[in-house]
Structure 1
């Protein structure tokens, strides 16, 4: 092909439009996958809301377990959308409403032995037990726990990120309670009677706890509904991408590289190993961290390959980043594809071990060589794939991208030299 284009310079006039058309098609696939992922997340959040309503209306051990199962199912599509975060400001600005972590759970409800406030005085608030309190010198009437109270007053109150009042992890805490097992086996063990009525109520304020759970799930549904609409044919997120396909390709690679490196390999995985701290696991109340890591990895592979398996079993697919990279450097395209598969294999090993009883927080225990090896093998794979992602940026002739870094990785800048 190179000889033909050299011999026939006139054909070069058609090259740029063809490339632009190819990139536009790849961007369209990316937006279609985002739309499907957020629609699926919304569908599963509505199922979670149905399950939590059943728990509130007719509390029982079975209803609590059904709500927990619905929460776990809701995480599967949502985690696959996290790859859209870093390259798309509309997602990154919104993400803290639905997936902020870690959180000072004492802001929300009772905790074992009381909360340690440190620099965050609201860490011991327990709004479920406190219908009136003072925030920044203002008296707050919280006699009714509403979505507005959570969203506008409590969430990130006093500009402290650990004051997480909304989203998946607030709901997770309300369903599981604290995981008091440290690096030992077992997740949170909130009793269903925390939602019981009358004399059967445990730990007090069961009606307000139910109100909080209802408000938090209502907000999750409305937030996901809003984001899903941003990716429709006339949505703002899709429009921002289609307006400039080259910038959109950069956004795609930025999302992959930043999630792969600074966020997942660093903040979510290596930091926990370095600190041997189960509080650093992403889904720390439910012991679902292995799945969160796995589906984050899958989301990155979805974007590269241009295909996504929906919760109803159908597939969204089309022209992909892999196609673009292959046209520029077939060897690199195959290498990046292999890197993504290696990452999924290693994340899959963590998932398999956790499902067999070796939970992620147990892997974080000091001196647990087997657990550290499982996690660090996956970290190494994520770092390796990030190197290949950066090479793909160069192969596509794009401006250098600054992927999100992390202090939890040794010499983070060296990864991209």
Structure 2
């Protein structure tokens, strides 16, 4: 197997039993196995933990909408060839959502808001669907069913930099847990091709100046790339590379002054007047499928302890230690550790090799000696034999490593 194949997420995903594709279901629609679902959930929980601390509230939305919503937002004209469409029995045209922002505008617009209630911060991990051509699909990197950790902040003009700064803090804390290198870019509109965007030139310049202000305050280098903006607003893109050196946008902060205008989203200001608000779009992982493709390759499948679908494998040397191995497994489960028993009739050497191939962070081997002193012989992935450890004192060590996301 070549070096590229060894880190290819499509091969690793199959070997580690993380996800699958079915010809009966269709290309670009991944199926998450129990292990893969644990990965996805842990990542999303981490994002929510960071957002919750900063005042976000969870919302939820349907997967389909009448055509009218996307016509008003401008998405129908822009993405009509990428939409999965359907017609109801009474003649209404519906579409599977290819994005979530228009739905969130309707949650905001359900009632009037005072300026004192702003910002309103909505978080929503959900799926979207786009009719990508089969030849464009690439494992998890490009799919038809996209899971996104989406969020939208509805705020006043003078709150934009502070709110975007909070989002940037979340991105830094999240990616810091993976020692993940990111390039930062300012993706702006191309003034020579205004027909690609909604809104007028003045609004776009104002929005781009706000993002420049934020980048300057963070003291980072961010080249400006014309023509890479979303059709409704400029954005700060956080870009990573996969094992083949291909660039993928992961996190993003987008400033949108156009959709709030289209949907007439306002707050009642200090003077009792309706004031136009603005909207920040934010995704920390972006497409969770794409993020996982990059993450699997980043770790070559050897995930840190907190993220590993199976954190510990317990291996009795022979049948005589199965009862003790079972008690070890129970203690670990009671402590909240994800653990498996590897107690087949294969030799202990073969079972150790299989657990190492599965890249399980810790292997606990138990024989008569370990049983006699209520201990385990510990092996750590990538480091080898750590010696015999008392179970009662080693479990807290594991829990601390999980807590610190090491």
- TM-score normalised by the chain length of structure 2: 0.28
Larger radius of gyration: 2
Which structure: greater helix fraction? 1
Whose strand proportion is higher, 1 or 2?
2
State the TM-score, normalizing by the size of structure 1.
Answer: 0.27
